[in-house]
Amino acid sequence: MTMPSAPLLDPLPLRADTPGTATLAHLNNAGSALPPQIVVDTQIEHLRREAQIGGYEAHAEAADRIDGVSASTARLMNSRSDQVALVESATVAWDRALQAIEHTEPLEPGDRILIASAEYASNVLPLLQIAARTGAIVQPVPDGGDGSVDVEALTDMLDEDVRIVSITHAPSHNGVVNDVVAIGDALRFSGSAAWYLVDACQSVGQMTVDASRIGADFISATGRKFLRGPRGTGFLVASDRALTDLEPYPLDLHSATWTGGTGYTVAEGARRFETWERSYAALLGMGAAIDYALELGLDAIRERIDYLANRLRTELTGIDGVRVRDRGSVKSGIVTITVPAPGAPQMVRALRERGINTSLSTPDYAPDEFARQGIDSMVRLSPHAYTTDDEIDLAIATMTQSIESGS
């Protein structure tokens, strides 16, 4: 097999910026990436200011820098700052979007919600709750021949009863990258009034995600994965339609103003999806991570990750008993495999013993998909631009030895 050529981005300067790389090989960036030092320093600096002068006072002092995080996020997503809400996680972002839809335009019996067949469980669960309460129907869109969402099939499913279309851009457990741009185009060309939600948790930070081109009503993302920001951070990008037509629920004194009696006014822009109390140290850290990624360039990061992921897929395919489970014409930096007995949990432990972080994928993520494929668990490997070829070699050698020894 022909190996992919090495990309231009040099991982060594990135590793110098990333202390964690000195002690382990981190192939779990789809879970939580190793942050660059600037992200850690930014958080600690703000926490020290809170300790020195008080939390409210440190917040006021950093107000312009906090606004700058919204501006940086807008540059990352090719949106406007007033379309960006800074929140505590991608789950909070996604839930805030769904709550606004259900609060403003409640679903009714017979309304349909279309989801990707590989939709993430944390997104599906609240949709199932709404369906159980209202009589709405949750329907998966079939996959196409390459294993990604079949855009033509989705288009054929669109009618006036479709109220929500929810698509995960890059699922966490199968390597596929769904064509969210084509799906957005299909919704617009069909004249559908459905609300379009895109979960970009695994795509933001490892590839360009262009909100203006996707045309979704909401795009949710986290700071902790390929973006390399802190845990406890995320953001939501809202469309002008969402900002005009929807009212978030519940509101607080940051997202709205109580004008007395029964009156209130909702804040302008996406701030209406935020709440007052957040970790401002963490949000500043996410801003530092975004600026770091923008300086490197998302195309360069994508090129490096693609090279490493393709190396893994190519070489893992050559190991007896290993099956690469990734699909899609376009793939992400997430590589998933099944391995022979004693199985994926033991393989993840064997890798950890060699100082290699990976992740165990289980049916909790997407039970229907795991059942269709007859899989009970997989090893998930997710390199980043700071990963070296030597670390890929070590992971492959460790897995080969583990399988050969049966341990």
Domains of the chain, each with CATH number or no CATH: 11-27+297-405 (3.90.1150.10), 38-295 (3.40.640.10)
Q: Is the separation of the CB atoms in 32 and 226 below 8 Å?
A: no
Give tens-digit pLDDT for 26-69: 999 999 999 999 999 999 999 999 999 999 999 999 999 999 99
Give tens-digit pLDDT for 57-78: 999 999 999 999 999 999 999 9
Is pLDDT of 178 > 70?
yes
50, containing H or E segment: helix 37-53
Predicted TM-score (pTM) of the model is 0.96
State the pLDDT at residue 4: 57
- What percent of the chain is predicted at pLDDT more than 90? 94
Interval 241-256 mean pLDDT: 97
Q: SS3 string of 307-369? A: HHHHHHHHHHCCCCCCEECCCCCCECCCEEEECCCCCHHHHHHHHHHCCEECEEECCCCCHHH
118: exposed, middle or buried (Cβ count in 10 Å: 0-12, 13-18, 19+): buried
State the pLDDT at residue 7: 63
What Cα–Cα distance (Å) separates residue 1 from each residue in 5, 318, 383, 391? 12, 9, 21, 20
Interval 335-350 mean pLDDT: 96
Give tens-digit pLDDT for 103-160: 999 999 999 999 999 999 999 999 999 999 999 999 999 999 999 999 999 999 999 9
Instruction: Determine the Cα–Cα distance for residues 406 and 379; give it in Å rounded to an integer.
Output: 16
At 1, the pLDDT band (50, 70, 90 cuts) reads: very low
Is pLDDT of 328 > 80?
yes
Give tens-digit pLDDT for 277-313: 999 999 999 999 999 999 999 999 999 999 999 999 9
State the pLDDT at residue 172: 93
State the pLDDT at residue 407: 72
- What percent of the chain is predicted at pLDDT more than 70? 98
Interval 233-261 mean pLDDT: 97
- Least Cα distance to 194 among 106, 114, 90, 91 occurs for 114
Look over the chain and give the mean of its residue pLDDT values, rounded to a whole number: 96
Instruction: Determine the Cα–Cα distance for residues 172 and 125; give it in Å rounded to an integer.
Output: 16
Give tens-digit pLDDT for 77-95: 999 999 999 999 999 999 9
Strand partners, 323: 338
Give tens-digit pLDDT for 370-398: 888 899 999 999 999 999 999 999 999 99
Instruction: Determine the Cα–Cα distance for residues 390 and 374; give it in Å rounded to an integer.
Output: 33
Alpha helical stretches, state H, 147-196: 151-157, 180-190
